[in-house]
Structure 1
C-alpha cells in the first residue's frame, strides 16, 4: 500500500510550515516519519492513502501489522484465448502476493463456451482473476493488473472508448467487482512475452487441462 505524508514542522522560534511528500510504500513512509520525529521539531504527521483515508503514526503501524497476516502486495496477470472452430474460450490468470512475510503464486484457468470473441475472453480472464483474489480475501488494497490485451487495458483505463455492448457489460462487471472489494486497480499493458504464464494457462484450458494451484515461491 502506498501513502503520502503530511508533516507540520515547527521551528525553535515557533514558525510552522506544512510539507507534503510523494506517494511511497507505507513501510518506507513510516521509516521516514520515525526519523523526522527524532528531530523534535515535528508537530503532526498524517498519512493518506489512495482512497483518502488518513492515519496517524500509531494507527498506520497497527494497520500495517494487521495486513501482514492477509494477502497484500498483489499483482495479477491475465490472458484469454478464443478458438474460432470450437467456439470455446480459455481463461488464465496468475496471482502473486505476500502474506505473513512469505511470497505466493496462485494459478487458475477455466474453459468456457458462452463467449463469442477473443476480446470477451480477455475480459472474462480478468474477471476470473478478480474472483480468485476475492477468494484469497484481498480487499481494500491497491492491486496491480497486468495484461497484453490493448483493448481491455486501454478501455478500462479510459484511453479507448468502448462501443461494443458485450464488452461494456464486461467492463461494468469488473468495475462493480473492484468497487465491491474496495480495490484500487493499477493497470499496466505488458508485452506478450511478459505475459507467457497467463497465456500458457489459457492455452491449457483450451486443451481441457484444468489448473488450480497455490505455491510458495522465492523472491
Structure 2
C-alpha cells in the first residue's frame, strides 16, 4: 500500500509549515512520522492512499498490523499468447506478495481453446490472475497489474474505447471480480522485455507445459 503524507511541522520557536510528501510505501511513511514525533516537531500528520482515503497515524498503524498475516504489497504480471493455427491460447501470470514478514512469488499458466484473438488471451490472462488472487485471499487492497498489452491496459484505464463485444464482456468480468474482492487496480503498461516472466509462462502453456508454483523470495 502506497500513501502520501500531509505534515504540519512546528519548529522549536513555534513556526509552522505544511508539507506534502511524495508517494511511498506505508511502512516507510509510518517510520518517518514516528521519527518526527520523537523529535517533537510533528504537530499533525494525515496519510492519503491512492483512493484519497485519509488515515491518521493510529489508523494506518492498526491497518498495517492487521494485514501482516494476509497477502499484501501485491504486484501482478500477466500475459496472453494466441496460436492462430491451433486456435489455442496460453495464459500466464506471476504474482509477487508479502505475508507474515516474508516475500513470495506465485507462477501460474493455463492453456485454453475457446478464444479467438490475442487480445482476448490478454484479458483472459488477467482474469486468471484475479482467480489466483482470490485463492490467495487477497481482498480490499490496492494491487498493481502490469502487462505489455496496450489494448488491455488502456481500455481498463478508460483511456481507449472498447468497440469489440467480446472484449467488453471480458472487461465486465474483470470489473465484477475486482469489485467482488474489493481490489483497487493500478494498471501499468510495460515493454514485452519487462514482462518476460509472464510472457514465458504463456509460451510454456502453448507448449502444453503446465506451471503452478509458489516460492519464498529471500533477499
Structure 1 partner of 2:162: 162
Structure 2 partner of 1:77: 77
Query: Which SS does the other structure have where 1:140 is aligned?
Result: coil
- Write the distance in 2 (CA, Å) between the matches of 1:150 and 1:105: 25
Instruction: Kindly provide the CA deviation profile for residues 130-151 of structure 1, in whole angstroms up to 9, marking residues without a partner as x.
Output: 1111111111222111111121
- Write the distance in 1 (CA, Å) between the matches of 2:103 and 2:41: 39
- Write the distance in 1 (CA, Å) between the matches of 2:34 and 2:163: 51
Instruction: Kindly provide the CA deviation profile for residues 134-169 of structure 1, in whole angstroms up to 9, marking residues without a partner as x.
Output: 111111222111111121112112232211111111
Q: Any unmatched runs of 5+ in structure 2?
A: none
Bigger shift: 122-131 or 29-38? 29-38
- TM-score for the superposition, normalised by structure 2: 0.90
Q: Any unmatched runs of 5+ in structure 1?
A: none
Structure 1 partner of 2:144: 144
Query: Which SS does the other structure have where 1:144 is aligned?
Result: strand
The equivalences for 1:87-166 within 5 A come to 87-166=87-166
The equivalences for 1:46-85 within 5 A come to 46-85=46-85
- TM-score for the superposition, normalised by structure 1: 0.90
Instruction: Kindly provide the CA deviation profile for residues 48-73 of structure 1, in whole angstroms up to 9, marking residues without a partner as x.
Output: 22233333222221211222211111
Q: CA RMSD in A?
A: 2.0
Shift of the alpha carbon at 1:37? 1.6
- Write the distance in 1 (CA, Å) between the matches of 2:75 and 2:87: 30
Task: Report how many residues are paired.
Answer: 219
